[in-house]
Amino acid sequence: MGERAMKIIMLGAPGAGKGTQAKKIAEKYSIPHISTGDIFRANIKENTPLGAKVKGYMDEGLLVPDELVADLVVDRVDKDDCVNGYVLDGFPRTIPQAEALSNALDNKGQSIDFAIDVEVPDGNIVKRMSGRRACIGCGATYHLEFAPPIKEGHCDKCEGELILRDDDKAETVMKRLSVYHEQTMPLIEYYKKAGKLRIVDGTLDIDEVFNAIAEILEA
């Protein structure tokens, strides 16, 4: 085990900045960034059986069934690169997923250290999503206004093409937001009760949000 407890969950609405912050945490503390959304998108791109199962749900802005997610993450956090911790981005997203994770960790005498809620009001979300661009090569995320790439339309890291995600159309974003309120927000109370919840103001600049998170992790 590393010196610091670093089993981290990112909570927050679609577009709150979970992925943006998770990448920075992973880089700074040298732990894996595990994004269920990225895993599913990679599977869709590679036409795997899992990709075929999840695509319809994702395109509609709905959650994929718990049983397609929970085992996948439980297996992933068992890998060697997770011994010093990890940052989970987009999982858990329902109470049953949180319980599946907690049971799996319990069995190993472990538990989550922090659930960080990146708080952004619904009103800011649509603008965030419509400006987001993702690299088809490496998955890096940009924003036309708030985090533009150096060269328009191309990834800073791998030169890949930048595209708008299929589920970032305004109407799908609205659906994802309502799904978030109904199915994922209960996790805030769940982790609060467990004493793991930390809240950061996700409306600040990307670097300011990250500073607030680093303070929590290093406290």
The least CB distance from residue 4 to ligand AP5, in Å, is 23
Closest CA to 74 of 100, 36, 43: 100
Residue 69 interacts with, from Mg ion, Zn ion, ligand AP5, none (CB under 5-8 Å by kind) = ligand AP5
Comparing CB distances to ligand AP5, the nearer of 172 and 217 is 172
- Cα separation of the two ends of the chain: 18
Q: Establish whether 18 is a catalytic residue.
A: yes
* Segment contacting ligand AP5 by CB under 6 A, of 45-53, 86-94, 148-156, 186-194: 86-94
Number of residues that bind ligand AP5 (CB under 6 A): 37
Is 84 in contact with 31 (CB distance < 8 Å)?
yes
Is there a catalytic annotation at residue 198? no
Active-site residue, selected from the candidate residues 53, 127, 165, 175? 165
Which H or E run includes 97? helix 95-106
Of 18, 196, 33, give the one whose Cα is nearest residue 110: 196
Q: Rounded to the nearest 5 degrees, what angle is found at the Cα of 84, between the Cα atoms of 83 and 86?
A: 95
Closest to Mg ion by CB, 19 vs 92, is 19
In this chain, which of 12, 15, 17, 19 binds Mg ion, going by CB under 5 A? Answer: 19
